[in-house]
Amino acid sequence: MTIKIFIFLLLLSLYSGCAMNRQPLQQHLSAHENSTLRNCAELFVETEQAVIAAGVIDSQDVRIDGYPYLRVNRFLSDYRNEVSGPAFENWISRLQELAMSGWQVDKDCRTGSIQFIHQMHR
């Protein structure tokens, strides 16, 4: 298992704990050293940097600054000021689902680009 796949799987396992807290990423990064929030935030940042460096960013849904565990599309963005209560919780869940789908695409593209590079050097 490559380190990239391991990081992706680790991200998925940490996803629930990180995504439930809606504080901005900077607050998570300022948490106590070795805390779950800080470790999770650092993992998101490192993974995002690796995806950007590989040039394989999924652009279907937009990343939300400060909230790396959420993504939004035009449809859901239109409702950002109109949802509250249970509808807000469902809206956030959908943003989390978009992020999960995006991470899968990022991982698949990254894995594919690595395999392509290896084939080119044979």
Query: What pLDDT, on a 0 to 100 scale, did the predictor assign at position 36?
Result: 84
Residues in the chain: 122
- Burial of residue 107 (CB within 10 Å: 0-12, 13-18, 19+) is buried
Domain extents in the chain:
3-120
Query: What pLDDT, on a 0 to 100 scale, did the predictor assign at position 121?
Result: 47
pTM over 0.75: no
Q: Where are the beta strands (DSSP E) in 1-122?
A: 62-64, 67-72
Query: What pLDDT, on a 0 to 100 scale, did the predictor assign at position 3?
Result: 57
What CA–CA distance (Å, rounded) separates 23 from 10? 21
Classify 31 in phi/psi space as left (phi over 0), alpha (psi -120 to 50) or beta: beta
Cβ contact 80:86 at 8 Å: no
Give the pLDDT of the chain (122 residues) as one tens digit per residue.
Answer: 455 555 555 555 555 455 544 457 778 788 888 888 888 888 878 877 887 787 777 777 888 877 878 889 999 998 888 888 999 999 999 999 998 888 888 777 766 555 544 454 45
Cβ contact 38:31 at 8 Å: yes
Query: What pLDDT, on a 0 to 100 scale, did the predictor assign at position 119?
Result: 52
Q: Which residues contact 31 (CB under 8 A, 6 or more apart)?
A: 37, 38, 41
